[in-house]
Structure 1
Amino acid sequence: MLDANLKAQLKSYLERVTQPIEIVASLDDGAKSREMHDLLKEIASLSSQITLLDNGTDARKPSFSLNRPGGDISLRFAGIPMGHEFTSLVLALLQVGGHPSKASAEVIEQIRSLKGEFNFETYFSLSCQNCPDVVQALNLMAVLNPNIRHVAIDGALFQDEVTERQVMAVPSVYLNGVNFGQGRMGLEEILGKLDTSAIERQAEKISAKDAFDVLVIGGGPAGAAAAIYAARKGIRTGVAAERFGGQVLDTMAIENFISVQETEGPKLATALEEHVKQYDVDIMNLQRADQLIPGKAGELHEVKFASGASLKAKTLILATGARWREMNVPGEQEYRSRGVAYCPHCDGPLFKGKRVAVIGGGNSGVEAAIDLAGIVAHVTLLEFDTKLRADAVLQRKLNSLPNVTVITNAQTTEVTGDGQKVNGLRYKERQSGEVRDIALEGIFVQIGLLPNTDWLKGTIELTPRGEIVVDARGETSIPGIFAAGDVTTVPYKQIVIAVGEGAKASLSAFDHLIRTSAPD
């Protein structure tokens, strides 16, 4: 299953294993079991520390567990962890084999100190770029604490479970049989949900920090660039972000970031964070900005966060980015993650053989319809305008697909369901005014982005669309407060533009500091 290059890479990684590993496979006579057995045999052949046993008795077949002989680790993969999850498998092998995690000593101690029984189940899809973060975090927790058990389940392979539990979005995490959460979650976020006092303790630590020269709010490309440029000036720099990487984390293929021919969003986000960490930057994750209190002339600006934390700074750079735009129609929120989805790459495999709709005829919507057409039974694409807005090459590809219907001049008015999950949508033909219903099981919303500026209303100048108004230097309506990236009025929401704007805002902030602190 592994090509020569991948086997060579894996072999070099497994040289870091210091303790014996037992892989115990639970298999049946099916093709997927044979495929899993072949993969596990190849892995075992690459290290003398690994032993493969095929006498597992787990009810989920095919699946395999990783443990140390005589150990008490409970870590299992139900499914074949290739695609995005191959990295999760490699990390699990290394950690079970004694290779230390990159997590901080404080986080590791927090994991080991958790009391109680924690039986986690994570449903993932092999095409989901958000799933590995969750799988890897829970795997590490299972390695470090014998009270924690984790099984990662390929939803496409165990469709009966997905149907029974009505899993319609990945990653979906269950704790002790009860839904724990959906969507991307990092290690610290999971710990925060388990150890509620951790958020309060962290907020107290953050609030006790001295004022920054430059405080960046947001950890996407613009925020990362701003932090690096500020730190290189030798000034006290901090970054407070709800999640480092921002919207990039939800981007699948990136092929237009200059000098990088092709990458994926999570990889680029990791690279951005690692680059920032090369400098003396105080990174504060899981901090969602909640209130801006601008300082008067010569005073510090203050930002308060939803966690209860508060930070002050001489200058601010606002780079909070954007989020998926919602339809704002009846039923959308009620059936979110129960048929209404926003990431076709992540959740598409859960709708295999079903009927879905894509809302939006721009590049994102058409690309989503093309991807989904290879998985689902039928795709209906609805566009509000009289024609699609996607690039011509994408439209040609879309029109060549036999299981896609395109409806233009259509206004989606309602998401319908049976109380448990989506069963259709209602739309109005804008020309005739006639209302029509479509029976389906999934709706993928792809209608653009909204700037994350709700917390800024009434304090700083915003456009009617909610974008922060900035001048050529990135300065906002308040002296000493700058902004960059998708959250601003700068046109063309592109990663490469956000990086440049972040650098510019940081240089402008430094210039402001020099001029305002210069002696009379």
Structure 2
Amino acid sequence: MLDAAIKQQLAAYLERLQQPIELVASLDASAAAQEMRELLHDIASLSAKVSVREDGTATRTPSFAVGRPGEAARIEFAGIPMGHEFTSLVLALLQTGGHPPKVAPEVIAQIEALDGEFRFETFISLSCHNCPDVVQALNLIAVLNPQATSAMIDGALFQREVEARKIMAVPTVFLNGEPFGQGRMTIEEIVARLDVGAEQRAAEKLAAKEAFDVLVVGGGPAGAAAAIYAARKGIRTGVLAERFGGQVLDTMAIENFISVKATDGPKLAAGLEQHVREYEVDIMNLQRAEALIPGERFHEVRTASGAVLKAKSVIVATGARWREMNVPGEREYRGQGVAYCPHCDGPLFKGKRVAVIGGGNSGVEAAIDLAGIVGHVTLLEFADALRADAVLQKKLYSLANVTVIKQAQTTEVHGDGGKVNALSYKDRASGETKRIELEGVFVQIGLLPNTDWLKGTLALSKHGEIEIDARGQTSLPGVFAAGDATTVPFKQIIIAMGAGATASLGAFDHLIRSSLPAAVAA
């Protein structure tokens, strides 16, 4: 099951086990069960501290549990955790075996103090790059808190259960049988939702902080670069982020980051955070900015929790989000057939009919990827020509199970009350409204800047982008901006990083000049 190189690496990891663990398999006669059996015995052969039993009685088969001998196992894998989930398996083995997790001590204490029954079930696809973070977070909660259990369920292997629960997106998490969350979630986000009173404590902690020299709002590439450049100047720097990493966390393949041939979003985001933490930067994660309040000496940023932070200068780097179609049915069926990540949710539509909305690079790439999984793809483009690169269009038109419709204005997403079953569009050439029967709609029509909270405070373009000059200065003295939330013409990771550095240097220059006596500054 495992090749020699992986076995060698895994054997080295298993040397870190501090306590014996056992893998308890619940198998059937399927080919997947045979693969699972081989995987478990391969793992056990690499360490004397790992044993395997095949007398499990789990309701889902094939599956296996990870636990300690003599104790009820609290982690379950219903499916073969390869691909992106192999790391989830390795961490489950190590953490169950006593290897300390790389999580902040205060988060560990918070998990251990949780009181109640927490039975988590996470439906994933093995191609989903967001799923492992959720699985690993819930597995760790199960390791640290004896009242918690965590089950990873491969949606492709347990299709009947996926259909019965009307799951149309991954990761989808159930807590005690009820929907808990969907999409990427960090362990801090999950624990904050479970811990009653956590938000109030966090708000009180924020409100007690001293004023910053530079407060960066946003934790994506632009925000991270701004924070590093500010901290290197030796000034008091803070980062307020709704989720550190930003939209990069939702990006699968990154192949145009100069000097790095290929990486992925979560890996790059982790590197950004690690780099920022090497400096004296106060990172305030899971906090959404709700208002910017200008002041003469200090600007203030009010968070959704009600806390107010003060800073001599502010750098806004709140990025952008997926643009919605804003048609009837889109929000009603989000996660029930309407999706925004083909890499994550594509496997759930195996053999089915789907539509991709958008003929740019993202839309055409999505259609190409989906064509290898689903039964048929219909790509709808509003304009009279696709905007994607020629090489992508050539590949798209070579696929037999793809139909391209141009001059198509999507007007409505239809469903049966539980999931999507059709889409309507207007033929812009004839004016006729047409209907396509399908099971999924993947929206790929660009981005919207996260600047709603700034309306009426800063000058914004007609597209809602923050207007900046060559130094990143906004219309408000002492407030700078960088990245996808601004009027910078190209929305790229590497450009956002450069813009973050520019804005940070601009802010530092502002601080120097504003602290000088008027005669000297002139």
Match of 2:276 in 1: 276
Once residues 33 and 309 of structure 1 are traced to their aligned partners in structure 2, the CA distance between those partners, rounded to angstroms, is 52
Q: Which of 481, 486, 499 matches 1:488?
A: 486
Choose from 365, 368, 371 the match for 1:367: 365
Which has the larger displacement, 99-108 or 460-469? 99-108
Paired with 1:251 and 1:291, the residues of 2 have a C-alpha distance of: 28
Check the 8 A contact 1:63/1:78 in 2, yes or no. yes
Alignment-derived partner of residue 247 in structure 1: 247
Residue 147 of structure 1 and its aligned partner are, at CA, apart by 0.4
Letter of the structure 2 residue corresponding to residue 28 of structure 1: D
Preserved CA contact (<8 Å) 2:131 2:184: yes
Residue aligning to 1:75: 75
Is the counterpart of residue 454 in structure 1 residue 452 in structure 2? yes
Pairwise CA distance, 1:335: 0.6
Alignment of 1:233-382 (within 5 A): 233-296=233-296, 299-382=297-380
Residue identity matched to 1:86: F
Equivalent residue for 1:114? 114
**Amino acid corresponding to residue 45 of structure 2 in structure 1:** S
For structure 1, list consecutive stretches of 5 or more residues without a partner in the other structure: none
| Counterpart position of 2:499 | 501
CA distance in 1, matches of 2:330, 2:162: 21
Residues 76, 150 of structure 2: 8 Å contact kept: yes
Contact 1:230 1:506 in 2 (8 A): yes
Post-superposition offset of 1:6: 2.1
Cα distance in 1, alignment partners of residues 64 and 350 from structure 2: 25
Pairs within 5 Å for 1:463-474: 463-474=461-472
Once the two structures are superposed, what CA deviation does each residue of 1:63-100 show, in whole Å capped at 9, x if it has no partner? 11011112344110100111111111111111001001
What's the CA shift string for 1:75-129, capped at 9, x where partnerless? 1010011111111111111100100111122111111111111111000111111
Aligned to 2:96: 96
Shift of residue 48, structure 1, vs aligned partner: 1.4
Cα shift readout 1:368-426 (whole Å, capped 9, x = no counterpart): 00110111100000000101110111111111111000000100000011111111100
Alignment map for 1:223-238 (pairs within 5 Å): 223-238=223-238
Root-mean-square deviation (CA, aligned residues, Å) is: 0.9
Partner of 2:143, secondary structure, is helix
Deviations 1:445-468 (A, max 9, x none): 000000000000000000010000
Matches within 5 A, 1:119-134: 119-134=119-134
8 Å contact kept, 2:478–2:510: yes
Among 411, 414, 425, which residue is 2:412 paired with?
Answer: 414
Q: Map of 1:71-220 to 2, 5 A cutoff?
A: 71-220=71-220
1:95 & 1:308 partners in 2: Cα distance?
37
Cα shift at 1:503: 0.7
Deviations 1:118-147, CA, capped at 9 Å, x for gaps: 111000111111111110110000001110
What SS does structure 2 have at the residue aligned with 1:349? helix
- Assess if the C-alpha contact under 8 Å between 1:134 and 1:184 holds in 2: yes
* Aligned-partner residue type, residue 431 of structure 1: A
Aligned residues of 1:36 and 1:80 also touching (Cα < 8 A)? yes
Pair 1:73–1:30, CA change in 2 (3 A): closer
Q: Indicate the residue corresponding to 1:13 in structure 2.
A: 13
Taking the aligned partners of 1:475 and 1:70, their CA distance within structure 2 comes to 63
Partners of 2:419 and 2:39 lie apart in 1 by 36
CA distance in 1, matches of 2:101, 2:505: 36
Counterpart residue type for residue 267 of structure 1: K
Q: In structure 2, what is the Cα distance between the partners aligned to 1:60 and 1:72?
A: 17
Q: In structure 1, which of residues 460, 469, 476 is the aligned counterpart of residue 474 of structure 2?
A: 476
Q: Distance in 2 between matches of 1:253 and 1:36?
A: 29
Write the distance in 2 (CA, Å) between the matches of 1:343 and 1:466.
24
* In 2: Cα distance, 1:268 partner to 1:201 partner: 30
* d(CA) in 1 for partners of 2:50, 2:414: 51
**1:99 is matched by which residue type in structure 2?**
H
CA contact (8 A) 1:96 1:143 kept: yes
Shift of 1:4: 2.5
Match of 1:515 in 2: 513
User: Helix, strand or coil for the counterpart of 1:381?
Assistant: strand
8 Å CA contact 1:354–1:378 kept in 2: the answer is: yes
Aligned to 1:388: 386
* One-letter amino acid of the structure 2 residue matched with residue 363 of structure 1: N
Equivalent position SS for 1:463: coil
Separation in structure 1 between the aligned mates of residue 245 and residue 64 of structure 2, nearest angstrom: 32
CA contact (8 A) 1:72 1:146 kept: no
Divergent runs of 4+, >6 A: none
User: What is the distance in 1 between the residues matched to 2:293 and 2:517?
Assistant: 26
- Separation in 1 of the partners of 2:308 and 2:413? 39
Decide whether the 8 Å contact of 2:25 with 2:65 is kept in 1. yes
Q: What is the CA distance between 1:7 and its match in structure 2?
A: 2.0
Please report the TM-score for the alignment, with normalisation by the length of structure 2.
0.98
Aligned residues: 518
Identify which of 402, 405, 413 aligns with 2:403: 405
Amino acid in the other structure paired with 1:94:
L
Code of the residue aligned with 2:14 in structure 1: it is L
Q: Percent identity?
A: 72
Read off the aligned partner of 1:266 and give its amino acid letter: P
8 Å contact from structure 1 (residues 73, 142) kept in 2: no
Deviations 1:462-501 (A, max 9, x none): 0010000000000000011000000000111000000111
CA distance in 2, matches of 1:89, 1:347: 21
CA shift digits 1:8-29 (9 cap, x unpaired): 2222111111110101111111
Query: Greater shift after overlay, 35-44 or 377-386?
Result: 35-44
